[in-house]
Amino acid sequence: MKRFICIIALMLSLSLSLSFCIHAQQTVSRICDVVYDHRDGLAFVFDVIKPEKQNGAAILYILSGGWVSRAASTMSNESFSQFTDKGYAVFIITHCSQPRYNVPEIITQIQRAIRFIRFNAGKYGIDPNKFGVSGHSAGAHLSISAAVFGKDAIQEQKYREIHSIPADQKVDPIELVSGKVQVVACFYPPTNFVNYIDRDTNWFDFPTVRNVSANGSFVATPDSTREFQNEALRAISPYFFISECTPPICIIHGTADELVPFSQSVSFIAKLMEYNIPYLFVPREAKGHGWQPDSTDHDALGKWFDKYLLDK
């Protein structure tokens, strides 16, 4: 009899667990190809994945590898279920790509995407003050760049003065909105192109990355003077622009990464510590550049975003 009761209890427990899992998987809707920018006659877009029950926060995922983007449709809804199941709206951002556009131009376009989403926050059911950003590799660099280069909202008159816009010309209201984010969680980001491997080795000394160096995607080229190289590389290196205003940052990085040296994240985290910026560093032992995210990664990202976007 006792054995029978135990079996029934176990079956009931499994049934409840299964019921909970089913309940936790939210139904989502997807809005595709929302145009947020136009450049050279081209339209740039993002997709929005909205859970049925939203928590008000947003995760902006920057779809980038080697500063080359691709269609958001290549990312499935299931790829972001760890966020949507909790109620996060997810924005998959496609950006202009090198070699047609250089890295500084890509950074400014990510700012445009953030402003556009914030300007239309009400339409997507999100709080404009609860933006998290994420990405892998180049997408991670752009995520951290969004954190350190993000601009505050600006008054129209000041914007006109800075950009020499006459009174009779209309100003795009989206350009007046803040481009800041509240938190970052990303994978293996390059953060310092001036000292890419060590203090004496910059981006152009690293043969593995020549495919995005020689064409001017980084403004300078391998044939540029050292001084000009370092000047151009410094301007796009988040490491040099950390301040007291930098938002909390989580970095996950493999110790065996041969494309983006592990030391990039080590030194960046040390810099965050100098400014007392909240951080989470998750070294993944023996991992190289790029791996299928597992429970360790999901847990770190989930808790980090929940802490700073949901106050959990």
- Does 204 map to a domain? no
Average predicted confidence (pLDDT) for the chain: 91
Q: Would residue 110 count as lying in a domain?
A: yes
Domain with 257 in it: 27-192+237-309
Evaluate whether residue 221 is within a structural domain. no
Confidence of residue 12 (pLDDT cuts 50, 70, 90): very low
Residue 120 located in a structural domain:
yes
CATH code of the domain in which 167 resides = 3.40.50.1820
- Residue keyed to tokens 């429970």: 295
Structural domain contains residue 1: no
| Residue 197 maps to a domain | no
Q: Is residue 7 part of a domain?
A: no
How do residues 195-241 score in pLDDT, each as one tens digit? 999 999 999 998 776 566 667 899 998 889 999 999 999 999 999 99
Q: Is the pLDDT of residue 124 over 70?
A: yes
pLDDT for res 13: 41
| Angstrom distance (rounded) from CA 228 to CA 221 | 9
Contact 142, 61 (CB under 8 A): no
Higher confidence at residue 259 or residue 10?
A: 259
Buried b (16+ CB within 10 A) or exposed e, 168-201: eeeeeebbebbbbbbbbbbbbbbbbbbbbeeeee
Q: How many CB atoms lie within 10 A of CB 124?
A: 15
Give the pTM: 0.90
19 located within any domain: no
Q: What is the pLDDT of residues 139-184, one digit of tens each?
A: 999 999 999 999 999 999 999 999 999 999 999 999 999 999 999 9
Domains: count for the chain: 1
Least confident of 18-27, 181-190, 200-209: 18-27
